[in-house]
Every structure is written in structure tokens, then in C-alpha cells.
Structure 1
Amino acid sequence: MELATVPRGKASSRNGPVLQPDELHKLILQSLDDDQAQEVVSIPLQGKSSIADYMVVASGRSSRQVASMAQKLVERIKQAGRHARVEGLPTADWVLIDAEDVVVHLFRPEVRSFYNLERMWGFGDAPEVANA
């Protein structure tokens, strides 16, 4: 399936419209919940950053679980007609999934605590703990 080049948040494919940012965010949270991600946090970025509308941070119990969650999430995003780029999958200590409107960081717990992205991107607000 080929995606047309359109402005952010207005994506469509030859098969019709694809998920809007809020729908994509919901799909991602549900996928992480289905795969038993731990400590899922969603940080709204609308009006605060141009990189995405949401940032989602979650942990897996091991590199193997992080890799599995990432692979399943990318497949679900693609099935929904969206594009996703992945970094860090070979080691799976920290996997970044850029789904354009939603950026997902999946970590092993000790790597997550070292980088503490929630604090860096929280903009002084308490991040939302996602209960998908």
C-alpha cells in the first residue's frame, strides 16, 4: 500500500483515509496494553512541540519483550494504514517508533530510569499514566 504525501495529521492512502492522530494514539495504547507493557505514560505534545501530537513511553520486562511489543506495534500501525520508522530493534534496550503523529519509546526498566524521558518532556505537567 502506498501513502500519498499530505500534511501531517491529514494522511490518506489509496484505500481511503487512515487514522487521525487521536485514533492512532488510542490504537498504540491498546496495543501496548494487549502486550502487557508496564508503566505506560502518554505525554500530550500538541501546541508544545512540532515533532508529534503525543509521546508514549512504556517498559517491557526484558529486551525480548520490548522487541516483541515493538514488532507487533509496528505491524498494527501499518495495518491501520500509517507509516512507522523503527530504531533500536536489534538490541531492544530502547526502541523508538516514529509513527509521525505519535512517537513511542519502549525501554527495558533500567534504561528507562537512566534516561527519564518523562521528566524531560513533561513540560512541568504531570505525565498522563495511560490506562488503555
Structure 2
Amino acid sequence: MNSSIDDDKAEDLVVIDLHGKSSIADFFVIASGRSDRHVGAIAEHLLRRVKKIGLGRCRVEGLNKRDWVLIDLGDIIVHLFRPEVRKFYNLEKMWSIEMAEPERATH
């Protein structure tokens, strides 16, 4: 998958291991495209490759707008951004911070 994204000249590719942080997926793959057209092209190429290798159905959000395209492959969620949108949401910071355990109330 990373090679497919790299082949499309995506920028700033990051993989975040979510084991122990979330049950929604095992990994986030985050990358940027230079423009909305580039983000869309990366997403469409990745979707064709996923279909070709038979990874099954995936869910896609944001393909029409192409500011932030999310491709949910089950254990892996791919986020493709325009650079300014990526900077605004800053998923790398949000998901790399260790979450503190909530304190238990004692009575």
C-alpha cells in the first residue's frame, strides 16, 4: 500500500501504529497531495489497486471534495490531505500522544 502511495508521488508519508491506542484500526497511513486533483488521483489509484489485489470492499469519504480523502480498509485507514488541511487537523499529533487513563472515582 505504501508503495502505491509513493508511486503517485504523495508527500510526507507517515504510518501511525494505533495498537493500544484505539480499536478503530491498527494503523493510520497519512499522506499529502500537492493539490485537490493530486489528492484525488492518489485516492483513485489506491482504490483501483485495492480492488485489483482483492482486499475486499472499503469505505471512502471525501472523494468528491478531495481536501481530505479517507479510505477505510478495516485494519488500516488511509488519510490523504491537501497540505493546508493536513496541517489544520494535525492527526499525527493527535494520535501520537499517549492518552492518559481516566481516573477512577473512589467513594
Q: Letter of the aligned partner of 1:46 in structure 2?
A: H
Determine the structure 1 residue equivalent to 2:6.
Answer: 33
Matched with 1:116 is: 90
Using the alignment, how far apart are the partners of 1:116 and 1:87 within structure 2?
A: 18
Question: Distance in 2 between the 1:34 and 1:42 partners?
Answer: 16
Identity %: 58
State the secondary structure of the residue aligned to 1:70.
helix
Offset at 1:46? Answer: 2.0
State the AA in 2 paired with 1:92: R
The answer as to 2:40 corresponding to 1:67 is yes
Structure 2 unmatched ranges of 5 or more:
99-107
Residue segments in structure 1 that go unaligned for 5+ positions in a row: 1-27, 125-132
State the secondary structure of the residue aligned to 1:120.
helix
TM-score (norm 1): 0.70
Match of 1:49 in 2: 22
Task: Note the alpha carbon deviations across 1:3-42, whole angstroms, 9 max, x for none.
Answer: xxxxxxxxxxxxxxxxxxxxxxxxx211110000000000
Superposition RMSD in Å: 1.0
Shift in Å at residue 48 of structure 1?
2.2
Which protein is bigger by CA-based radius of gyration? 2
| Residue identity matched to 2:15 | S
Describe the SS at the equivalent of 2:14.
Answer: strand
| Aligned-residue offset at 1:55 | 0.3
Deviation string 1:83-125 (CA, Å, 9 cap, x unpaired) is: 211100111000000011100000000000000000001134x
- Residue 97 of structure 2 aligns with an amino acid whose one-letter code is F
The two structures have a TM-score, normalised by structure 2, of 0.86
Partner of 1:15: none
